[in-house]
Structure 1
Amino acid sequence: MLPICVVNNYGQFNHLIHRALKDLDIEVALIPNSTPKEEVSSGYRGIILGGGPAIERAGRCVEYLDLGLPVLGICLGLHIIAKKFGGEVRKGKSGGYGSVEVSIRDHGDILSGYPEKIPVWASHADEVCRVPEKFTLLASSGICDVEAIACPKEKIYGLQWHPEVSHTVDGKRVYQNFDSICSE
């Protein structure tokens, strides 16, 4: 079975995402965001767009969204997805990293198995302020209306929070759900 790739967007958590998948015995590779899309389309069964400092440094990530592979965007990855499909991203009101209680409105397949509210670790320096048209709002919080979105038909998902850190309760479940989506 082909691995899932984690696209390194120069964020501090990309290596943790890679490690989290390895710890779950999920075949995974960490790749630079400059990797040609042809290599991504033929070498992987799913894509995780990792976080990073700025959308201007997202390399070829937008190209990867047209490959027909399942995609999970984390933090900056969510912003890349939202902008590509017509959503809007703005500076957040709450700024840097911290604990947030997220309310799940629609579990879908990516948030399957979670309770209605979960404590997570997130940065809100930037955040999605308008969900793209063909996407569903999955989760929100008291500081951010758009914490998670999905386009299940295209198998594209985005989270504002970081499932790979210990501050996020049961974060591994997101990666297990994504692995299942990529195995369908």
Structure 2
Amino acid sequence: MKKEDKILILDFGSQYTQLIARKIRELHVYSEIHPYSLDISSIQRFQPKAIVLSGGPQSVHESNSPKADPQIFQISIPILGICYGAQWTAQVFGGKVESSQIREYGRTELSIIHPSPLFDGLPPSFPVWMSHGDHIEELSQAFEAIASSLDCSVAAFQNLEQKIFGLQFHPEVHHSQFGKEILSNFLFSIAQCKPSWNIPHWIDEKVQEIRQQIGSAKVISALSGGVDSSVASVLVHKAVGDQLTCIFVDNGLLRSGEKEQVQEVFQKHFHIPLIVIDGRKKFLEALKRVTD
């Protein structure tokens, strides 16, 4: 099985983290989201080609704010910090992060003030999407500022030698005009990824893994009709066929016609063995006199 380049996304709680993963995958590079607390040995076992640090809703000054293992900066792979991820990076290296009197939220004009491979092929200024209460007041000597905005003197920074970059804005949202190009520059020019990943290849790989794991055993799947259990069930069925039986429980709290829709999709369309259990009486009896 061909080994694909992988991007590790450490999640600090941003509402856009899933979007980062999707944008990277749209560029045909595989990405996985893991919690910010992932230990360094697990990171090294994952063997990422690069790491992306997501944004997050908290301030780096809060005592319980999320902090990744600083050893990530010592494993010699490119790192891109976005918003909170950039602020935390600057702070780890001795920079000064301050609370802003004016919260910068929404579209703003970014001005490139120093050449960077992150901005190769881009115009000197363009609109981006900001969403932050803190700002980087001062960088340590490890970094140089490469972009600014009206209310943010350090809107982006870099350490070319260590290939560490920080963006105070969100390249993953469509409001940032050249966000795709910035991510592309990071993936291909800086991290030297190959655009070889796609969904059909991923499905084939997972099907083979499932077959190896299950062998000739029988499998049951608890099917809710939601995205997660549905995708998992279809994927397993693709791998082992009628060795899989799905079980769907009608708990009396389903949407109108939901049970029939699940039966239609899984029995008639996918031809997956499905057992439907009528659990309405049991569930509704247990919920009697329960208030919320």
* Pairwise TM-score range, normalised by the shorter structure: over 0.9
Moved more, 5-14 or 145-154: 5-14
Moved more, 149-158 or 165-174: 165-174
Structure 1 residue 169 corresponds to structure 2 residue 177: yes
1:41 is paired with a residue whose SS is: helix
- The number of aligned residues is 184
Q: Deviations over 1:97-135 (max 9, x none)?
A: 211101101131111111100100002301100012121
Contact 1:7/1:33 (8 A) holds in 2 = yes
Q: Which residue matches 1:23?
A: 26
Q: Which residue matches 2:207?
A: none
1:146 is paired with a residue whose SS is: strand
Contact 2:89/2:166 (8 A) holds in 1 = yes
Q: Which residue matches 1:72?
A: 80
Q: Which residue matches 1:178?
A: 186
In structure 1, distance between residues paired with 2:144 and 2:102: 23
Instruction: Flag the structure with higher helix content.
Output: 2
In structure 2, distance between residues paired with 1:106 and 1:31: 32
Equivalent position amino acid for 2:29 in 1: I
Structure 1 residues 57, 34: CA separation in 2 closer, same or farther (over 3 Å shift)? same
- Which stretches of structure 1, 4 residues or more, deviate above 3 A after TM superposition? none
Q: Deviations over 1:26-85 (max 9, x none)?
A: 111111112111121232110000001223432324332222211000000111110111
For the pair shown, which has the larger CA radius of gyration, 1 or 2?
A: 2
1:31-180 equivalence runs, <5 A:
31-43=34-46, 44-54=48-58, 55=60, 56-180=64-188
TM-score scaled by length of structure 1: 0.94
2:110 is paired with a residue whose SS is: strand
Give the root-mean-square deviation of aligned CA atoms. Answer: 1.4
Q: Deviations over 1:138-171 (max 9, x none)?
A: 0011111000000000000000000011110020
1:147 is paired with a residue whose SS is: strand
Contact 2:39/2:69 (8 A) holds in 1 = no
Contact 1:61/1:80 (8 A) holds in 2 = no
Q: Which residue matches 1:8?
A: 11
Relative contact order: is structure 1 or structure 2 higher (C-alpha 8 Å, sep ≥ 6)? Answer: 1
Contact 2:86/2:168 (8 A) holds in 1 = yes
In structure 2, distance between residues paired with 1:119 and 1:59: 29
Q: Which structure 1 residue ranges, 5 or more long, are not aligned? A: none
In structure 2, distance between residues paired with 1:81 and 1:134: 11
